[in-house]
Amino acid sequence: MNRIIEFENITKEFKILNRREGLKGSIKDLVSKNYSVIRAVNDISLSIGKGEIVGYLGPNGAGKSTTIKMMTGVLEPTSGTIAVNGKIPYKNRCQNARNIGVVFGQRTQLWWALPMIESLKILKDIYQVSDEAYKSQLALYESIINVKPLYNKTVREMSLGQRTLCDILAAFLHNPSVIFLDEPTIGLDVSMKSKIRHLIKELNARQKTTVILTTHDIGDVDALCERIIIIDKGSMIYDDTAGNLKKYFGAYRTLKLKIKGEYILSDIIQALELRFLNQTSMVVRTSEEWISILSKEDEAPIMEILMFMQGFILINDIKIEEINTEDIIKKIYEGNI
């Protein structure tokens, strides 16, 4: 397969000035040489092929932006080799920028005061897109979504959803080999989210554009990504298919119980802890009248928990749910796996 992005043992360190408190401290800081080194990205190697949609996940501050900035040529790695389309991005930011597209969820890159179509025309010139390519690209957009009514609207007049949509269209205009989408659905309503997902999926399928998607919305991941990369504290902790995520992290299931009569949650948790002492991965929560117990099947089988619970409380109703991606990722972030 055609490799679009190659990372080999990439590490990025930042020198941070240790700031002192108070006015006196900040005056001292002016001449301070008291730096500490922070490792934002630690020895990451990855390889992303043509046409892939990769969900790039990680908690806040995990190093996602830093990695993306290295891919886009804004940052130079401290060590390691990096290639985007076979070229080193930071060596020639402008050259690299011709082959990529970037969308930041809340920061539009279109001209604020201009109608959308005029922004597109300026981008056409910036990226030197030919007339035919430009026309066929617009035709492609029109065949996927109803974009025509937006052409003459200025970005300033658009809703956040419309703006994001236009930002995505603008990023795809010069048919780049890779697109970076940073939280494209943040702050959008359900129907707009699904529109945006549909758009990304279609454009990816028709143009074979590689998509790197960072998001905190697991809905995006479930809808779009075949492959997931998770980083935390600068290191890569998962790189595999989305389907394997569930298998990989064990068969987690949630047992939901509706209990008759009054109960004290802390008592139940305590009893469960006593009974399944070794189960650090078990999570007990309550929502309305349901108690939900998340547990790993091979450590504490659901049936066993159910039987145990029946021993001391009256159960009105039960539900068993498979773990969803969100719960798995939450557990990964919390370091329970």
Partner 1 sequence: MMKQGFRYYLKIYGKILVQNIKSKMSYRADFFISLIGIIFVNLSGFITFWIIFKNVPSLLNWSYYEMLFLYGFSLIALTPVQCFFDNNWNLLTYVFSGDFIKYCFKPLNLFFYYISEIFDIKGIGQLVVGITVLSYSWTNLGLDFSLIILVKLIIALVSASLFMISITNFAAASSFYILNSAYFVMMLSNKFKDYAKYPITIFGGALRIIFTFIIPIAFMAYYPSLAFLSNKEATFLTYFTPVYGITFFYLSYKFWMFGAMKYNGTGS
Interface ranges with partner 1 (CB under 8 A): 14, 60-61, 65-66, 69, 72-75, 93-95, 97-98, 100, 102, 104, 107, 109, 111, 113-115, 118, 121-122, 125-127, 154, 182
Comparing CB distances to partner 1, the nearer of 66 and 85 is 66
Beta bridge partners of 212: 54, 180
Comparing CB distances to partner 1, the nearer of 126 and 265 is 126
Give me the amino acid identity at 119.
Answer: S
Cβ contact 180:100 at 8 Å: yes
| Closest CB 7 distance from partner 1, rounded Å | 18
Distance, in Å, from the CA atom of 105 to the CA atom of 181, rounded to the nearest integer, reads 7
| Closest CB 301 distance from partner 1, rounded Å | 42
Distance, in Å, from the CA atom of 165 to the CA atom of 197, rounded to the nearest integer, reads 10
Phi, psi dihedrals of residue 252, rounded to the nearest 5°: -85, 140
Comparing CB distances to partner 1, the nearer of 111 and 151 is 111
Comparing CB distances to partner 1, the nearer of 156 and 285 is 156
Q: Specify the 3-state DSSP secondary structure of 22.
A: helix
Comparing CB distances to partner 1, the nearer of 178 and 329 is 178
DSSP state of 235: E
Beta strand residue intervals within the chain, DSSP E: 3-17, 35-49, 53-57, 79-84, 100-104, 178-182, 210-214, 227-232, 235-241, 252-259, 283-287, 290-296, 315-322
| Closest CB 276 distance from partner 1, rounded Å | 39
Give the torsion through C-alpha atoms of 66, 72, 74, 78, to 10 deg. 60
Comparing CB distances to partner 1, the nearer of 76 and 273 is 76
| Closest CB 69 distance from partner 1, rounded Å | 7
| Closest CB 315 distance from partner 1, rounded Å | 46
| Closest CB 194 distance from partner 1, rounded Å | 24
Kindly report the number of other CB atoms within 10 A of residue 280's CB atom.
10
